[in-house]
Amino acid sequence: MTDENIKQFKRWWTRINLEHFLVFWLVGSLAMGLLMLLAYTTTYGLPHNAEGIRFVINEGAIIGQKLPSIVGSLFLLVVSLMLFQTQLGVLDSTSRIMAENFALKKLGKDEEGKINLSKIYFVFLWAQIAFGVILFLLNIYEPKSLIVLGAVLNAMAMTVHIALVNITNWRLLPKPLQPQLAKKIILIIIFTIFAGFSIFTIGDKIF
């Protein structure tokens, strides 16, 4: 906790906040806005419009009608690559997180212990892939229902995650490294929203 290290941390923190603003807020909002505008101008209000993945296929077909057919095919190709890349990233990141936590739990305080992190990673990775295959075999393939299920599970996970972040910010981090009070309050509000959403959803399904 030297003055120089604290200055470096604050400089890094400023840059990482700028990066998150540009990538997630600015570019993310722009991309979602353009996709919504494209959906509105192509398939909105059409009779017997399909839901889920068929909606995207209809969108590509209509783009192919209004523009050269190759453009509609390219749209579907780009969407497929986007979905594949997103799912690949999710599988990789979740498998790494679970593998690292499992390894830390297994090693415990044994600093000389050895563990094959790659094998643990692949176990979690293929377990998730197998779970997805089972869903398809059970004819659970509608994206809307899977998105809702994923959103519920994500809300529960975020509730725990933000609670741990708050504990870290308030109790574990040294004072110079703690976020400002306003950001702490925002995190508490976010925790309340996720916790309320989780409790409401569970209660709605049970009762």
In three-state secondary structure terms, 110 is: coil
The reply to whether 109 falls in a domain is: no
The reply to whether 198 falls in a domain is: yes
Domains identified in the chain, total number: 1
Instruction: Report yes or no: 91 and 129 within 8 Å, Cβ to Cβ.
Output: yes
Domain coverage including residue 182? 142-207
Whether the per-residue pLDDT at 112 is higher than 70: the answer is no
27 pLDDT tier (thresholds 50, 70, 90): very high
Whether the per-residue pLDDT at 142 is higher than 70: the answer is no
Pull the structure tokens for residue 99.
Answer: 């593998």
The reply to whether 86 falls in a domain is: no
Cα separations (Å) of 34 from 28, 39, 70?
A: 10, 9, 20
Q: Look at residue 141 in the predicted model and tell me its pLDDT.
A: 64
Instruction: Report yes or no: 103 and 120 within 8 Å, Cβ to Cβ.
Output: yes
The reply to whether 40 falls in a domain is: no
Whether the per-residue pLDDT at 149 is higher than 90: the answer is no
Instruction: Report yes or no: 47 and 38 within 8 Å, Cβ to Cβ.
Output: no
